[in-house]
Structure 1
Amino acid sequence: MLPENPLAGDRPAGLSRTIPRQSRLAMATRGAFVVASSAAYLLPAAAGAAVLRPLRGRTAAARFFYRRLVRHLQRLGPAPVKFGQIMGTRRDLLPPLLCDELGRLHDRVRPMSGRQVRRALREAYGPDVTRHFTEVEATARASGSIAGVYRAVRPDGREVALKLQRPGIRRRMVLDLALIHGAAALAEKLPPGRGVPLAELTGFVCAAVLGQLDFAGERANLAELRRNFAESDNVWIPATLPELCRPNCLAMEFIPDLVARPVAEIDPARRPRLAARTVSAVYQMLFLDGFVHCDLHPGNVYFKGPRVVVLDAGFSIRLDPTVRRQFADFFLGLALGRGRQCGEVVVDSAVRVAPDADVEGFIGRVAELVKRNTGVPAKEFQLTRFGTELFTLQRDFGLYAASEFVFPLLSLLVIEGTVRDLDPDIDFQAAARPMLLRAAAETAHLAPQRRAG
């Protein structure tokens, strides 16, 4: 049985879900299949990596194994794929090469078959689908591990986008998430995992994945994002159509010609503006609104004319006011070169500190890291590199930040590649200062809570 998640009651809005309990027989049967298929697929992959290592080096061997591991996740189904997508952002806990390979899961998901689409439509709207739509395109406009997006036409001629959940996905995903969480809770008790908050981390990730099955919750997330950006002409969040929404179908306004284009196809004169608007939107979510879209990979961010289009808000969280203050303090310290302040914020946000952790040593190393990255030319500062070094320090010193603190930060790291492609010279630190100063003023009443000892 899945152990109770002790943090479930403390999660931000949108992630306060627990995974329904599953029968012992169902978990044992699924677990036996996962173990057997993983052994059959991954043991030969490990042997191949061992042969490859002396011939082509450690990096090539690791990449060989990680690619086969990612392929196996795809074979296991949507829950492992979604879990892999999210874990691919955790460079503090996983090797960077593995994170690179897990990142491929965002855009390599097979669309539903025509039969599955028809079944999903029947489950959503009953046998008389034509009463609601005169046309539903058979080809998906976008395809993910949980759902596909299809263009449809209403009887009055208006176009809509239907996000259809894959039929039968819920039961399998809940079962797999229960297995993942249970395995993490067990691993945390074994010597290699002692001191690492694996249950806390996987509980957060599993709640995030389970939340993406909740289309009513995603509809509420989209509505909140639209309210937050209502006065912005630079960000487009699609409006939902409540009268057409169903538990397994999210109906939204259709945004025409919304296709992923290489940066090379965007007018060079527009690229810096789009980059600045993208960064500004993320900073607004992080520092001002406290409601953050945490899944800003390229499949969820598009550019249409002068605006940034943000889709798929299933994985969004509301930051606790104290966490939002910590975010502002950390980034303000980074922008102003206050390294010790940054180190103290990370310590304050830690969900677990090893008993023998050298806290002062950690703060000193963070201060050194900030000093090396303050005042450098914008082109040379990379958030991903900075974040990876910071996460490595946390792992080395035995300090683990709470997922509520880390995942919103990773939303910015995930978007960095897209932004850099648009404008290699963008100054992330300078762009943050105006919102950071405003956020610091708005949250000044929240006194920092220093950790005892």
Structure 2
Amino acid sequence: MSDDRDDVPAPGVRKRHLALRSAVIAATALRHGGRVLARRTLARQEPNGSGGLAELVADLGPAFVKGAQLLSTRRDLLAPKWCDAMGGLHDQVRPMSRPQAVKALHRAYPVQREWPFRRFDATAVASGSIACVYRAELHDSTEVAVKLRRPGLHRLIGADLRLVAAGAGLVQRLPAMRRVPAARIVDQVSQAIRRQLDLDLEAQALRTLRANLGDFARLRIPAPIPAACGDGALVMEFVPGLRRFGPDSFTREQRRELVRQVLHAVYRMLFVDGLVHCDMHPGNLYLNPDGNVVLLDAGFVVPLQPRVKRLFAEFFLNMSLGRGPECADVVLRSAEHVPPEADLPGFRAGIVDLVATTAGRRAGDFRLAPFATRLFDLQRRSGVAAAPEFVFPLLSMLVLEGMINEFDVDVDFQAEAIPTLLPALNR
């Protein structure tokens, strides 16, 4: 990853920068809290009671925006008004100012390099926490989309992640949390977020996904154009006529087909290719005029180690088939640490009961978040420390489940995985 020199503070000023960042976060929260209080005092708050939430999150910074994006997909866990308030953060974050965009373009295309565009529209067509997207035209008349990284992110996100890591270290000192690898989990997630700053890695992920998922007729992934890319600028083919990926404009059968297309593509990534796409939310999924699903973003794609991929596949298959003892065995084999004094019979019995209550349930009756919470609680009480690498496939499934529940509550997303799981495990 290329580091912006003005984004990375020298070691001597890091503590001062962290203290300043902490003060900014506190001041931002207090300022927005004062606005909410004023609205209530004047009886002018928004009807849904969630006014100002998106503005607060956006002002706090990209690390907070990323968390809110994930939460907004969980309408089964949060009230619709909160999900709606945070939903715009997928691709409607406040765009870069003109000076910021110029600075980012100068870094991507310095004076010694030829300007690759015949036309570049200065107004962003989409705006996320990491980058803004602009429409442009190459010299050969090819229409392209230019994903331009916001300047200053390495330092800002680095500070936020260091604060989160410090908080995780404190949490792990609590008696009830000493056996939970919170610091390692935060480290794994932090590495993934930092990967999103490297648009070269995203271009590589786009090429890999296009090659791996090319046989899915209803799925389209835009191709990157390497010759036009720059430092912090990802140029890809422009896909015209896109519309929001939402359930309202489809029949029930169309929704079922779309859900299964996305499901099977995700299962291929997870269980065959060993790639985890943690951002399969409505801000990255669109429909083209032909009704095909278009996946626009590959920034939050994490490769799985072969061992982690196989163990997760084994657990998911056994969970889908209601095999509780086998699920318990996979959890123990994948654990980072199992203390000698652990009550393994009790732990296995807990896993068997958990799997028995969820096997065969359809999307409308099954919630992955409560399932994961019970699983982690069993591990915590038994002292069985889960491997932090499993946070990514779980995160991917949590985001995906939010979309599934909105489109088709009757889909059995466990059973839908079996045709992909069996050949993958046989290999």
Task: Report the TM-score range of the alignment, normalised by the length of the smaller protein.
Answer: 0.7 to 0.9
* Equivalence for 1:345: 330
Counterparts in 2 of 1:43 and 1:175: CA distance versus 1, 3 Å: closer
Among 26, 30, 38, the residue aligned to 2:13: 26
* Equivalence for 1:135: 119
Shift of the alpha carbon at 1:196?
2.4
Provide structure 2 residue ranges, at least 5 long, that are not aligned to the other structure: 2-6, 37-48
In terms of mean alpha carbon deviation, does 300-309 or 324-333 score higher?
300-309
Contact 2:219 2:295 (C-alpha < 8 Å) held by counterparts? yes
Contact 2:148 2:234 (C-alpha < 8 Å) held by counterparts? yes
* Equivalence for 1:435: 420
* Equivalence for 1:227: 211
* Equivalence for 1:55: none
Shift of the alpha carbon at 1:427?
1.3
Among 284, 309, 312, the residue aligned to 1:327: 312
Contact 1:141 1:150 (C-alpha < 8 Å) held by counterparts? yes
In terms of mean alpha carbon deviation, does 209-218 or 356-365 score higher?
356-365
Structure 1 position 77 matched with structure 2 position 49: no
Shift of the alpha carbon at 1:371?
0.9
Letter in 1 for 2:16: T
Shift of the alpha carbon at 1:142?
1.9
Matched residues, number: 404
Q: Provide, for residues 408-429 of structure 1, a one-character-per-residue CA deviation record: whole Å limited to 9, x for no partner.
A: 1221221122223222211112
Shift of the alpha carbon at 1:338?
0.3
* Equivalence for 1:446: none
Mapped partners of 1:338, 1:128: distance in 2: 62
* Equivalence for 1:7: none
Contact 2:58 2:64 (C-alpha < 8 Å) held by counterparts? yes
* Equivalence for 1:57: none
How do 1:21-170 residues align onto structure 2 when only pairs under 5 Å count?
23-40=10-27, 74-82=58-66, 105-106=89-90, 109-126=93-110, 131-170=115-154
Among 366, 378, 397, the residue aligned to 1:412: 397
Q: Provide, for residues 169-219 of structure 1, a one-character-per-residue CA deviation record: whole Å limited to 9, x for no partner.
A: 223323433443344345534656522212201111111111111111111
In terms of mean alpha carbon deviation, does 340-349 or 190-199 score higher?
190-199
Mapped partners of 2:159, 2:106: distance in 1: 25
How do 1:247-258 residues align onto structure 2 when only pairs under 5 Å count?
247-258=231-242
Contact 2:120 2:134 (C-alpha < 8 Å) held by counterparts? yes
Structure 1 position 314 matched with structure 2 position 299: yes
* Equivalence for 1:367: 352
Mapped partners of 1:129, 1:151: distance in 2: 20
Letter in 1 for 2:293: V
Shift of the alpha carbon at 1:257?
1.9
Provide structure 1 residue ranges, at least 5 long, that are not aligned to the other structure: 1-13, 15-19, 50-63, 443-453
Mapped partners of 2:31, 2:8: distance in 1: 34
Shift of the alpha carbon at 1:327?
1.5
Structure 1 position 277 matched with structure 2 position 264: no
Mapped partners of 1:429, 1:142: distance in 2: 34
Contact 1:42 1:69 (C-alpha < 8 Å) held by counterparts? no
Mapped partners of 2:52, 2:182: distance in 1: 23
Shift of the alpha carbon at 1:227?
1.1
Shift of the alpha carbon at 1:386?
3.0
Shift of the alpha carbon at 1:340?
1.5
* Equivalence for 2:230: 246
How do 1:357-396 residues align onto structure 2 when only pairs under 5 Å count?
357-376=342-361, 379-396=364-381
Letter in 2 for 1:140: A
Shift of the alpha carbon at 1:253?
0.7
Query: Aligned-pair RMSD on alpha carbons?
Result: 3.6
* Equivalence for 2:41: none
Mapped partners of 1:194, 1:44: distance in 2: 35
Mapped partners of 2:295, 2:199: distance in 1: 16
Contact 2:185 2:389 (C-alpha < 8 Å) held by counterparts? no
Mapped partners of 1:280, 1:270: distance in 2: 15
Mapped partners of 2:417, 2:331: distance in 1: 19
Counterparts in 2 of 1:346 and 1:177: CA distance versus 1, 3 Å: same
Shift of the alpha carbon at 1:232?
2.5
Mapped partners of 2:332, 2:53: distance in 1: 33
In terms of mean alpha carbon deviation, does 141-150 or 35-44 score higher?
35-44
Counterparts in 2 of 1:118 and 1:378: CA distance versus 1, 3 Å: closer
Contact 1:222 1:313 (C-alpha < 8 Å) held by counterparts? yes
Mapped partners of 1:70, 1:347: distance in 2: 41
Among 257, 261, 264, the residue aligned to 2:248: 264
Instruction: Give identity over the alignment, percent.
Output: 43
